[in-house]
Structure 1
Amino acid sequence: MNKSILFTENELVTLLKTNNKAAYEYLYDHYAPALYGIVRKIVKDDSRADDVMQDSFIKIWKHMASYDAEKGSLFTWMLNITRRTAIDKLRADCKFENDLKWEAVRENDLGNHAVFTPAPATLDLKSIVEKLLPEKKQLIELVYFEGYTHEEASEHLCLPLGTVKSRIRNAMKELRKVFDVSSPTAQFA
């Protein structure tokens, strides 16, 4: 493509909506480097970033007719598509990796040295935890019953570490209310 050609955004959009090859080459040449930098910060891997860029430009090409200049600039529209594609890729990869890494350990794999003797005071703790909201219950089970660290739970569930810590803190507050028999709210709301 002739590198000396310059388009205004309106001209470029008009040509893109007619599937003009030169306009798509121009679009890629002028926008891909900035988009790639953002994708690379999200997925943190060149190979994944290349896949995201390819998927993003296919989506841009397929959905060009839906672009509305009144809602924002062409770059912002493309950035949103690319960012969502990168996040979707990251989540899909994270789920796939977690499915591989986090297998349940069977009791017969543990051997004789792994004996669990619960304290009498905690015998009914699991039934109390069952009353928590599912997202809190899952974290309490991972961290307190299965021995995950907050970071491991964050990776396993593909949640930000801050979200994991907040949910655990809130769940612990709810559990404290249950065990505080002097409290008038000694049960779940």
Structure 2
Amino acid sequence: MNSTPALPTATDEEALVQRLLSRDEQALRILHDRYASNLRTVIARLVRDESLAQDVLQEGLLKVWLSIASYDAQRGRLFTWMVRVCCNQAIDALRNPRHRFHSANKSLETGGAQQAHAASTFNPEHIGLRELTLRLKPRQREVIELLYFGGCTQAETAEQLGIPLPTVKTRARAALQALAQLAR
């Protein structure tokens, strides 16, 4: 017996959208039951933190509920639109200073510093940097996490950690030297 639920047909999707537009709360439950698992998977790939992914999913579904009137079936399927809404929500969460350092150190208080624009060609995941950082000293690791994974500048890192800028530079230099040794 096949346990995989059947994909909703276009007619099912249209009916669901109409129920959402009429503010039928049961339709929101159906929407959650049908799509939440797949949406959470997409979000988790972006944020790389299960609890943040769950938060983003809930915020994304709320945004879907509140902005369902902006959905246009002529431009694509409901699921595709919801993925876009949830991905935008995930990006917003990652840009938000409260969530920027969420997975690496939940106890770290972050300020209102704006995220720096990192070069789009640098992806530390490709070289296994994240795994190597786990072997650094905690003070070095927190600096590297903010600089390379959080997208912060050295000045923003100093502000967020409450340490002088020269200390950030020293720790970053020491961490990079240690990473070079570990990578050999």
TM-score relative to the length of structure 2: 0.51
- The corresponding residue for 1:124 is none
Question: Partner amino acid for 1:87?
Answer: I
The one-character-per-residue Cα deviations of 1:137-164 (angstroms, maximum 9, x if unpaired) are: xxxxxxxxxxxx99874335359xxxxx
The answer to whether the aligner puts 1:16 opposite 2:10 as a matched pair is no
> Counterpart in 1 of 2:29?
25
Give 1 or 2 for the bigger CA radius of gyration.
1
Shift of 1:99: 7.7
Residue of structure 2 equivalent to 1:52 = 56
Give 1:133-152 correspondences, 5 Å limit.
Answer: none
For 2:25, the aligned partner's letter is K
**Separation of aligned partners in 2, 1:156 and 1:49:** 17
Gaps (5+ residues) in structure 2? Answer: 112-116, 119-142, 154-184
Distance apart, 1:43 and its partner CA: 1.3
Identity %: 34
Within 5 A, what are the aligned runs for 1:110-189?
Answer: 153-155=147-149, 157=151
Contact in 1 for aligned 2:146/2:152 (Cα 8 Å)? no
Gaps of 5+ in 1: 102-134, 137-148, 160-189
Aligned: 1:35 with 2:39: yes
1:65 to 1:11, Cα distance in 2 relative to 1, 3 A:
same
**Aligned partner of 1:81 among 80, 85, 89:** 85
Instruction: Look up the equivalent residue of 1:154 and give its one-letter code.
Output: Y
CA distance 1:156–1:28, change in 2 (3 Å): closer
User: Which position in structure 2 is the counterpart of 1:94?
Assistant: 100
RMSD between aligned residues: 3.6
Distance of aligned partners of 1:55 and 1:156 in 2 relative to their CA distance in 1, 3 Å threshold: closer
1:92-120 deviation line (CA, Å, top 9, x unaligned): 1227889859xxxxxxxxxxxxxxxxxxx
Query: Which secondary structure state, in structure 2, belongs to the residue aligned with residue 19 of structure 1?
Result: coil
Q: Distance in 1 between matches of 2:110 and 2:17?
A: 44
Q: State TM-score, norm by structure 1.
A: 0.50
